[in-house]
């Protein structure tokens, strides 16, 4: 019995009243777990060519849900931002989000080069960001600039580059609307993360402007909106495309 009691803090994190950051860690974990179940089950209701896209969407939210489970416990126990856990999460989920652009454009001529290019940009962005936030914290503005180059590469591809050109050439209004929505997620939704980076205590350009706890609150809400929202756009595209195909086949 005593050994079971000693394990209780590991099995059940205790959320204190008024801990809004902790609340969003709990909420984020459950919301993304629920989204994963939804995406995995809905794979049966779309054409085979879209099943992989929904699988990736489910993996993104599943990976995030697992990390949020650990991050909520870390926060509850230490009241410190779980930087390492966040970057492990992002190193897995952000490249997968970039892979989605290749998957939805594959049927319209996307080459494997686009896939590797998007993965390279995302890994570049995240590795440089992690180094600036941990190993080389005193020179975080320099590493932030290096990280931004990767982010700009992703933005270029989805707004002006080969990915954008393929979407325009598809002549598929459903795909084009979905692609535009995903591009806005990258531009507007991902913009919150550089703000958090610039708030690094001591060396960040916005140091002292926003409290660390405030940025964790924003990160948690932003992660849930970006990852679940990203997946829902993919789901909407998959369902609409599958219905169009079924209608065309029936006629």
Report pLDDT digits (tens) over 22-62: 999 999 999 999 999 999 999 999 988 899 999 999 999 99
**pLDDT score recorded for residue 139:** 86
Report pLDDT digits (tens) over 82-111: 999 999 999 999 999 999 999 999 988 999
Please tell me the CATH code under which domain 20-245 is placed: 1.20.1070.10
> How large is the C-alpha radius of gyration of the chain?
20
- Give the C-alpha separation, 99 to 70, whole Å: 25
**pLDDT score recorded for residue 246:** 62
Burial of 88 (0-12, 13-18, 19+ CB in 10 A): middle
DSSP letter for each residue of 213-236: HHHHHHHHHHHHHHHHHHHHHHHH
pTM of the complete model beyond 0.75: yes
**pLDDT score recorded for residue 4:** 43
- Give the C-alpha separation, 48 to 65, whole Å: 26
pLDDT band at 250 (very low <50, low <70, confident <90, very high): low
Q: What is the DSSP letter of 160?
A: T
Residue 100 falls in which region: left (phi positive, over 0), alpha (psi -120 to 50) or beta? alpha
**pLDDT score recorded for residue 11:** 47
Chain centroid to CA 50 = 19
Check residues 213 and 142 and name the one with the higher pLDDT: 142
């Amino acid at each position: 019995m005593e050994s079971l009691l000693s394990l209780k803090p590991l099995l059940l994190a205790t959320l204190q009243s008024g801990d809004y950051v902790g609340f969003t860690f709990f909420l984020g974990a459950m919301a993304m777990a629920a989204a994963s179940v939804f995406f995995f089950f809905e794979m049966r209701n779309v054409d085979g060519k879209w099943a992989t896209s929904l699988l990736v969407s489910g993996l993104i939210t599943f990976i995030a849900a697992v990390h949020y489970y650990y991050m909520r416990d870390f926060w509850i126990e230490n009241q410190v931002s779980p930087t390492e856990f966040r970057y492990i999460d992002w190193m897995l989920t952000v490249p997968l989000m970039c892979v989605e652009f290749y998957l939805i454009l594959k049927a319209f001529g996307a080459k494997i080069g686009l896939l590797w290019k998007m993965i390279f940009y995302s890994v570049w962005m995240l590795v440089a960001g992690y180094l600036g936030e941990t190993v080389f914290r005193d020179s975080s503005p320099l590493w932030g600039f290096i990280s931004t180059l990767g982010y700009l590469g992703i933005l270029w591809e989805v707004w002006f580059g080969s990915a954008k050109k393929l979407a325009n050439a598809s002549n598929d209004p459903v795909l084009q609307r979905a692609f535009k929505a995903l591009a806005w997620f990258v531009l507007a939704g991902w913009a919150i993360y550089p703000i958090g980076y610039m708030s690094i205590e001591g060396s960040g350009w916005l140091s002292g402007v926003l409290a660390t706890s405030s940025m964790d609150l924003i990160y948690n809400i932003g992660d849930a909106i970006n990852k679940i929202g990203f997946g829902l756009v993919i789901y909407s595209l998959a369902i609409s495309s599958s219905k169009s195909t079924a209608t065309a086949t029936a006629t």
